[in-house]
Chains A and B, each alone.
Chain A
Amino acid sequence: MPDTITSETAAAGPLPPRTVPLDLLHRALGGRMVPFAGWSLPVQYGAGVLAEHLHCRAAAGAALFDVSHMGQASLHGSGAAAALEALVPGDILGLRPGRQRYTVLTNPDGGIIDDLMVAALAPDRLFLVVNASRREVDLPHIAAHLPAGVTLERHDDRVLLALQGPGAAAVMARLGPVAAALPFMGFGAVRIGGTDCLVSRSGYTGEDGFEISAPDAQADHLARLLLEQPEVKPAGLGARDSLRLEAGLCLYGNDIDDRTTPVAAGLAWVIGRRRRDDWGFPGGTVLREQLQHGTDMVRVGIRPDGRAPARAPTAIVGEDGAPAGHITSGGFAPSLNAPVAMGYVRRDLAAPGTRVGLQVRGRSLPACVVPLPFVPHRFAR
């Protein structure tokens, strides 16, 4: 199906970006709407990226992001977990109801088709959240690999809101106490202001927080209720990107893609212990080999010495000037008031403390390989 969509698009010219159900609210809040992965979303509101970012990390602060562009779906039927497990390196059979796990869809070369969240609602019912840019790849891919009796249901009629920050738990304690009691990566049905939601305690900022799935019809009511809370301010895609970069989290299409493997990306922890018995998932033997012998390139954190940000795809060189890799995400870290970057470097240059150069505007800016994340995670424990 994606091929059909592509050819239609080519004939008719680019499609205008789709609007999310909260489009009018974003505009009313002063959101600056930009196209992103085929959707029109606010890159920032009036406060600006820096203020929105810092609010998400502020004591008692909570930022509300609309991430409804992400794809939501559920898998149900007897054998749903086994069917998904055949496509990912994660332990999905061992995922208990009420728990969520981060995993990746892999291709036969071990490359990452997408990274996604999988939550267990019940033994035979899984809830999935995939990237906006990959939803039309992932969902047909999963659907094509399902046995009889397992069905994939798209939830294109639901919004996804992310409430993130040290103040998020207090908001939920007030509006949906069941959610406030969830542990990190816990998942469950929660009633918030009269709306039946599906809530996970997770996010993409490195802070404690919640991702809230709700029916489109209740989106405006729910978002306004959250925004009325004294801790909460809206935040856009700009802050979402700088927050996840500081937290060392990968952006699909930048830091990981179908040519990078979980081992090279420093995500080998997604390979479940039980899955290492038989490596029975796409690319399993490749990943086993890579874990034994290492990969040529590995993802690392990088701190430029100076003030100049180095953005993707800045070339990285060793101290001897030899090619060493390239930046995949880079920019300014508001919480550190300094530039930071992530990228892939040769394995011999991947140790923290290694000096490298970043080729920016014809010069080699001195920089250092550092551990990730740049800002310590503060997830609920």
Chain B
Amino acid sequence: MPETRFTKDHEWVRLEGGIATIGITDHAQEALGDVVFVELPDPGREIEAGESVAVVESVKAASDVYAPLTGRVVENNQAIVDEPALVNREATTGGWFFRMQPADPAAFAALLDEAAYKALLETE
């Protein structure tokens, strides 16, 4: 059973079989509006937690997507490059951004759980 955690930057992180899949939350896509462009990190790239690694642009603004964990990128989602609107339509499923192998899988547990993320949304 994969577990999903969240960041304060409105990203979701799903850990399954030692690989983390990262995307933006439904709240984030709603706030951004129509997504028209994404730029993703290439597989093989070593990334550090907190580093800006992807870009998502809506008609209104450009936003950074940060690495939630330190590790290595193993895959990115060309489907959202070809069709950015998928990020709006399927933010937490088909609209994922990239997959990574965390250097320290235990760091995943330090991310926000669903209750903590919901609490964060209520303070915004």
**B57 CB contacts on chain A under 8 angstroms:** 308-309, 332
B97 to chain A, nearest CB (A): 16
B58: chain A residues at CB < 8 Å are: 49
Most buried by A among B36, B57, B58: B36
How far is the CB of B6 from the nearest CB of chain A, in Å?
23
Q: Are B37 and A309 in contact (CB under 8 A)?
A: yes
**CB contacts between A and B, total, < 8 Å:** 37
Nearest B residue to A307, CB-CB:
B37
Docked pose: A52 CA to B33 CA in angstroms: 12
A339 CB contact (under 8 Å) in B33, B34, B37, B39: B37
Is the C-beta of B8 less than 8 angstroms from some C-beta in chain A?
A: no
Answer yes or no: A242 CB below 8 A from chain B CBs. yes
Interface residues of chain B: helix, strand, loop or mixed (majority) = strand
Of B34, B39, B58, B62, the most chain A CB neighbours within 10 A belong to: B34
List CB contacts (< 8 Å) of A292-322 with chain B: 307-309, 311
Contact: A43 with B37, CB < 8 Å? no
Q: How many residues of B contact A (CB 8 A)?
A: 11
A48, B33: Cβ atoms closer than 8 Å: yes
Q: How far is the CB of A346 from chain B (nearest CB, A)?
A: 26
Partner of A238, one of B37, B55, B59: B59
Q: A49 contacts B60, CB within 8 Å?
A: yes
Q: B34 touching A49 by the CB < 8 A rule?
A: yes
Q: List 24 A-B contacts (CB under 8 A).
A: A43-B60, A44-B33, A48-B33, A49-B60, A50-B34, A50-B36, A50-B59, A53-B59, A238-B33, A238-B59, A238-B60, A242-B59, A307-B36, A307-B37, A308-B37, A308-B39, A308-B55, A308-B57, A309-B36, A309-B62, A332-B36, A334-B59, A361-B39, A361-B55
> In the complex, what residues of A have CB within 8 A of residue B36's CB?
50, 307, 309, 332
- The interface residues of chain A lying within 8 Å CB-to-CB of B34 are 48-50
A38 close to B (CB within 8 Å): no
Which residues of A lie under 8 Å from residue B33 when comparing CB positions? 44, 48-49, 238
Question: What's the least CB distance linking B26 to chain A, in Å?
Answer: 15
- A243 nearest CB across to chain B (Å): 11
Query: Taking the complex as formed, is A331 at the interface, i.e. its CB lies under 8 A from any CB of chain B?
Result: yes
B78 smallest CB distance to A (angstroms): 13
**Residue on A nearest B61 in the bound complex, by CB:** A311
